[in-house]
Structure 1
């Protein structure tokens, strides 16, 4: 799926305006632990989290993207991670059913927003899946993570709903519990990923599909450098992921570093905060 020249010859990159859904971190805190990044004993600066989130929202708007907002609900501190709320493709909404009790109410909350906005083709899933945390659109297919959160049976359910091929990928490192923490889509045929986060078979699939992919180091993966969002030209990623930024620039992308380290205390960064509305 990758252009054989892409590894050596920078392409002409064009930014495509996007529509994003975000949720303000009004109730953000780390009061429980459902991934290795979360430590309720570690102090969280809610004001700093709010400022960092607003900087991300402003950056998207400055880049020409539309940002819509869903109202946060008390008692749902992780609702700020809007990417987990659903998967949207061709105006069809595949809802999320969360694995952990602490987040289960988020799925209905996001689906209620979509229905209120007039989305007609909305699916409440049978199997556990955590939205764009584990479903990433690349070209005419979906890459689908499993191993920690999303039930592999959900992959077939998503394929039947959307009518597009779904390629399953198994995650094996609990620090990278969602696909969007270990892999980022850069264009319709380009990705970057951290090989050690995947099973041997899934690494083989990724090598076959994306032979010229950008490979992240352990250092860049550990600062959530792969929890990034690309509009085809600009790639928004944590500013600490300097190695990835260098590789992206060499490929003709324009990397834009941003600080979201307060939200990283709950295991999220730029992509986690952003659900793309592919209407």
Structure 2
């Protein structure tokens, strides 16, 4: 089912209709190393979190990225592909590549600089020839569909939350609903200036949601999502959102990962909610990578 109205979403959502019967967290993950000393000017046109005046330090970015891979390896096996200097946003592979039901899904990127990433034969070949995954290629579609940047998925229930923006239109949302084999997708408009849903929403192993209310065009949308999860919701203020506290991920049932800046922005009550839900908090310094307009969740492509 595909819905666009908060009331329709709440009328459809229930634990009886959508029980947690699937894997809530990934079995593995892959990253792509940073390889460029410049920021992607095309991406900056619709990514308010980028600042072209802040020149990244490629050596420091690479060091932080390697530490991220090492730390995440405590929860799942982590594979790192080499970066491409011609793809300055390549260290955010989850927008371009995703997996579901034994399929590698390749997204349709808005900007040409990012479409280069979708053509990588090594990543496609690894999933096809090594893992035996089928390929669902959305990259030439007549829509925009930036995968798990635009689409936040409750994998345990098969429910997708798709924010519409310049990085994902309605046709792209419907294409992803089919490609991921989702049972229910709730599509909604992001607030003006927001580019990806995974900056304003995270679903943590199907148990807790993190929401930045000002990132949604209609305040009824985050209210409906929080209600669906029984109030197990961390509400972010604008400063916490800018610190990327919404760009979080659970790769194991008992731990949430976010950047060090994001973790530092959390209030004690928010940390206690995570603890009561059974999550410890892992944090990694990523300030150099965050200059490119994304954070920890953006770096991680999950393998299901």
Tell me which residue corresponds to 2:265.
241
Q: Which moved more, 1:259-268 or 1:189-198?
A: 189-198
Taking structure 1 as the reference length, what is the TM-score of the superposition? Answer: 0.86
TM-score (ref. length: structure 2): 0.79
Quote the offset at 1:22 in angstroms. 0.4
Equivalent residue, structure 1, for 2:4: none
1:25 aligns with 2:34: yes
Does 2:106 match 1:87? no
Local SS of the residue matching 1:40? coil
Which of these residues, 113, 129, 147, is aligned with residue 145 of structure 2? 129
Question: What's the secondary structure of 1:105's corresponding residue?
Answer: helix
1:216 corresponds to 2:229: no
Alpha-carbon spacing, 1:17–1:130, altered in 2? closer, same or farther (3 Å): closer
Give the gaps of 5 or more residues in structure 1.
4-14
Per-residue deviation, residues 21-41 of structure 1 (Å, max 9, x unmatched): 100112253151231222333
Stretches of structure 2 that go unaligned for 5 or more consecutive residues are 1-12, 16-23
Task: Tell me what 1:202 maps to.
Answer: 221
Q: Which moved further from structure 2: 269-278 or 30-39?
A: 30-39
- Show the counterpart of 2:160: 142
Q: Distance in 2 between matches of 1:105 and 1:16?
A: 29
1:232 counterpart = 2:253: yes
**Closer, same or farther: CA 28–60 of 1 in aligned 2, 3 Å:** farther
1:44-123 equivalences under 5 Å are 44-61=56-73, 63-109=74-120, 110-123=123-136
What CA RMSD, in Å, does the superposition of the two structures yield over aligned residues? 2.3
| Secondary structure at 2:35 match in 1 | coil
Partner in structure 1 of residue 286 of structure 2: 260
Q: Distance in 1 between matches of 2:14 and 2:48?
A: 33
1:56/1:258 contact within 8 Å kept: yes
8 Å CA contact 2:25, 2:205 repeated in 1: no
Query: 1-side partners of 2:160 and 2:296: how far apart?
Result: 20
Aligned to 1:179: 197
- Contact 1:148–1:171 under 8 Å retained in 2: no
Alpha-carbon spacing, 1:204–1:67, altered in 2? closer, same or farther (3 Å): same
Instruction: Tell me how many residue pairs correspond in the alignment.
Output: 265
